[in-house]
Amino acid sequence: MRKYEAKDIKVLEGLDAVRLRPGMYIGTTGAKGLHHLVWELVDNAIDELANGHGNCVSIILEPDGSVCVEDNGRGIPVDLHPTLGISAVEVVFTHLHAGGKFDNENYAHSGGLHGVGASVVNALSEWLVVEVYKNKTTFRQEFEAKEIEGKMKGGVPKFSLFDTGIQGKKQGTFIRFKPDARIFDTVNFNVETIARRARELAFLNKGIKIIVEDSRSGTPSRKEFLYEGGIIDFVRYLNETKVPSYSEPIYISGKEGGVLLECAIQHTDAYTDNLFSYVNNIPTTEGGTHETGFKTALTRVLNGAVRKAGLIKEKDDNLKGEDFLEGLTGVISLKMASVQFEGQTKTKLGNVEAKSAVETIVASGLAKYFEDAENKPILDSVLKKAVLAAKVREDARKAKEISRAKNSIDSFNLVGKLSACSGKRPEQNELFIVEGDSAGGTAKQARNRAFQAILPLRGKPLNAEKKRIDQVLANEEIRTIISALGAGIADDFSIDNLNYHKVIILSDADQDGAHIRAILLTFFFRYMKQLIQDGKVYIGMPPLYKVHKKDVIEYAYDDNELEAAKSKVGRGYDVQRYKGLGEMNADQLWETTMDPKRRTLIQVSIDDAFAAEMLVSTLMGDAIEKRKNYIIENANFNREDGFR
Ligand code: 0RA
């Protein structure tokens, strides 16, 4: 039997700290902390196997509440530690931070919260047995929690490591431990929890078989997880319930500046992304620098491909990362030393060097993959999906902006713009949309304010034909018109709310005037079609000439009428040619253009949808003459109120 020396007591004091504050080492003393014990040992085993020594680890839940974790690696070293004078096995189980993860180049990729190691499991166990199969024989050591000098100690060696002499060819490490019920709130293992993580570890470590056995009940269960495809199989598994856009996941791996990366991706018909990242087999649920590097590379390479394929116009913005991520299932697995975890739950990778390393590997890997002519159809489907995602995103953004703009129109301030009429009956009310502030001023003086409202246009309204609805709504003049009419716009247009049943466009009889008229008609046609269909839109007709002699006045609206007017007035007449509305005084404007008894209005009615479409698109063409003629010849304008 073994005799305790001063140095052993010191070691046990280290394990005391673990028993005193288990939470510091395994997070909690609840179910999560309990299962953590298993993962400590499994992680160590996988580290050994992942280095190419062995290929199998088994986890067995025993009826007595203990758990066995066995691997077929090289076996924990059994030789004496050069300074401590005990076996390496004993060091591993009794020294904090020495357990499992060695500062050895074989274990360059170990790190993180895991790997506090086997000594923690030992410290928190009622008892623990380790067997090392090596050199064709079996070594064994046992530990237990016991009272020493009136104090409870955990992980106390019952005896030193010894060669049992039991011969065999097998190699590896076997550990069986029973969690101490005095430490844990529960000592009941959940086999589902264990199997789920075992499957994940099997995906992350291709070629390693993980066996989970539950021998606690009369009907033992056994599951084996082995994935030769590794994270490629992981992605396939994740996509089992989805429809993949292409049959094989894309796999990329590489090494860059101490970072070892593997990633596998496959797009599906889903709308969200499903990205899982790991660092040293630890899930990084909160993401971090590696995910950022991945997304940056994906976005950069695929945006290049989108342009190369001519799927967007040169002047168009790049697609966003989220467009390429839509429906993407992906697994990113990183191995690196000196891992820094950040975030709320310490599941976010903080190492900045990981971003550039991942970005480099993924960018060159993806580029290479898509250069291959064989993969052209995959690239095409990825790009097509992303372009569609971008379009949907852009449409949604517009819809949001439009509803915001519509809301702002509801509360749009018309003070100082609209001179409203006093009458409250829309069927009798008229809105004059007048070109220019000065003509607007004259119209204001001329009008019958009981039923005539005046809305002067300060500048040219936006040409709605060439713009998206959000841009149209951003235009001040157009917002003023929508607001004054009060009936909304587009799908929201409701003729019942219309404030004026005659909307009269009053512009100069020149090219500018024709242009403004065309712009307004286009806007009404595109965004308030019913206004035109119901015959509520009119064009006011100011005269072109005034023929007068003393107090006899005749107005003429074209050259034929001018001749008629001249002969009617007789010798000694004077002819004035109006170049614009502004040249008329208020009385003249009233008499010729605004007085319902004397004015001429052209009612705009477009019956034929195709003709209307032609009209509007021609109106918006650049040939001003053609446009002017088109208005006169093709639009179904009817004269109302007679001629004078
Ligand atoms: C360090 C060196 C060697 C093996 C191991 C550690 C080792 C540790 C664990 C923990 C669980 N299972 C393990 N298997 C191996 C190599 C020893 C040698 O070559 O003799």
Q: Kindly report the three-state secondary structure assignment for every residue of 318-369.
A: CCCHHHHHCCEEEEEEEECCCCCEECCCCCEECCHHHHHHHHHHHHHHHHHH
What is the Cα gyration radius of the chain? 42
Ligand 1 atom with least separation from CA of 100:
10
In whole angstroms, give the CA distance from residue 379 to residue 374.
10
Statement: the pTM of the whole predicted model exceeds 0.75: no
Lowest mean pLDDT among 63-77, 314-328, 419-433, 481-495: 481-495
Structure tokens at 337: 């030393």
Element containing residue 44 per DSSP (H, E): helix 31-50
Model confidence at 491, pLDDT cuts 50, 70, 90, reads confident
Ligand 1 atom with least separation from CA of 41:
11
| CA neighbor of 436 nearest in space, from 503, 516, 500, 502 | 516
Pocket test for ligand 1, best of 38, 43, 47, 48 (most atoms within 8 A of CB): 48
Inform me whether the pLDDT recorded for 441 exceeds 50. yes
Model confidence at 106, pLDDT cuts 50, 70, 90, reads very low
Ligand 1, atom 17, residue with closest C-alpha: 77
Ligand 1, atom 4, residue with closest C-alpha: 76
Mean of per-residue pLDDT scores for the chain = 88
Cβ contacts of 43 within 8 Å, gap of 6 or more: 100, 114, 115, 281
Mean pLDDT of 511-528: 86
Residue reference for tokens 């003509």: 439
Ligand 1, atom 5, residue with closest C-alpha: 76
Q: How far is the CA of 95 from the centre of ligand 1 (A)?
A: 16
Output the 3-class SS for 172-209: EEEEEEEECCCCCCCCCCCHHHHHHHHHHHHHHCCCCE
Cβ contacts of 576 within 8 Å, gap of 6 or more: 545, 546, 547, 548, 583
Cβ contacts of 467 within 8 Å, gap of 6 or more: none
Higher pLDDT, 439 or 623: 439
Higher pLDDT, 193 or 511: 193
Pocket test for ligand 1, best of 74, 130, 133 (most atoms within 8 A of CB): 74
Model confidence at 601, pLDDT cuts 50, 70, 90, reads confident
Instruction: Say if CB 146 and CB 126 are below 8 A apart.
Output: no
- Pocket of ligand 1 from Cβ distances under 6 Å: 44-45, 48, 71, 73-77, 100, 102, 173
Ligand 1, atom 19, residue with closest C-alpha: 74
The DSSP symbol for 462 reads P
Beta strands in 541-606 (DSSP E): 545-549, 552-556, 574-577, 601-604
CB-side neighbour CA atoms (13 Å) of 476: 9
Structure tokens at 52: 């190419």
Inform me whether the pLDDT recorded for 353 exceeds 50. yes
At 533 the pLDDT is 86
In whole angstroms, give the CA distance from residue 536 to residue 261.
68
Pocket test for ligand 1, best of 68, 76, 137 (most atoms within 8 A of CB): 76
In whole angstroms, give the CA distance from residue 260 to residue 606.
69
Q: How far is the CA of 280 from the centre of ligand 1 (A)?
A: 18
Lowest mean pLDDT among 248-257, 398-407, 495-504: 398-407
Q: How far is the CA of 71 from the centre of ligand 1 (A)?
A: 10
* Each residue's pLDDT tens digit, 295-307: 999 999 999 999 9
Element containing residue 240 per DSSP (H, E): none
Ligand 1 atom with least separation from CA of 118:
10
* Known catalytic residue at 273: no
Contacts made by residues 100-106, CB under 8 angstroms, sequence distance 24+ = 100/40, 100/41, 100/43, 100/44, 100/47, 101/44, 101/47, 106/51
Model confidence at 634, pLDDT cuts 50, 70, 90, reads very low
At 3 the pLDDT is 59
Instruction: Say if CB 516 and CB 461 are below 8 A apart.
Output: yes
Mean pLDDT of 590-602: 91
Q: How far is the CA of 42 from the centre of ligand 1 (A)?
A: 13
| CA neighbor of 203 nearest in space, from 89, 60, 46, 388 | 46
Choosing from 131, 213, 508, 554, the catalytic residue is: 508
Ligand 1, atom 18, residue with closest C-alpha: 77
* Each residue's pLDDT tens digit, 311-349: 999 999 999 999 999 999 999 999 999 999 999 889 999
| CA neighbor of 67 nearest in space, from 100, 28, 34, 44 | 34
At 633 the pLDDT is 46
Q: How far is the CA of 501 from the centre of ligand 1 (A)?
A: 91
In whole angstroms, give the CA distance from residue 244 to residue 21.
48
φ, ψ (nearest 5 deg) of residue 585: -90, 175
* Known catalytic residue at 512: yes
Ligand 1 atom with least separation from CA of 175:
11
Mean pLDDT of 598-620: 65
Inform me whether the pLDDT recorded for 475 exceeds 90. no
Mean pLDDT of 579-604: 89
Ligand 1, atom 12, residue with closest C-alpha: 45
Of 96-100, 290-294, 313-317, which one has max mean pLDDT?
290-294
* Each residue's pLDDT tens digit, 35-61: 999 999 999 999 999 999 999 999 999
Residue reference for tokens 């003429």: 556
At 469 the pLDDT is 78
Task: Tally Cβ neighbours within 10 Å of residue 185.
Answer: 12
Q: How far is the CA of 89 from the centre of ligand 1 (A)?
A: 9
Higher pLDDT, 389 or 604: 389
At 627 the pLDDT is 47
Inform me whether the pLDDT recorded for 120 exceeds 90. yes
Inform me whether the pLDDT recorded for 370 exceeds 50. yes
In whole angstroms, give the CA distance from residue 340 to residue 573.
97
253 bridge partner residues: 262
Of 101-105, 260-264, 314-318, 628-632, which one has max mean pLDDT?
260-264
At 614 the pLDDT is 56
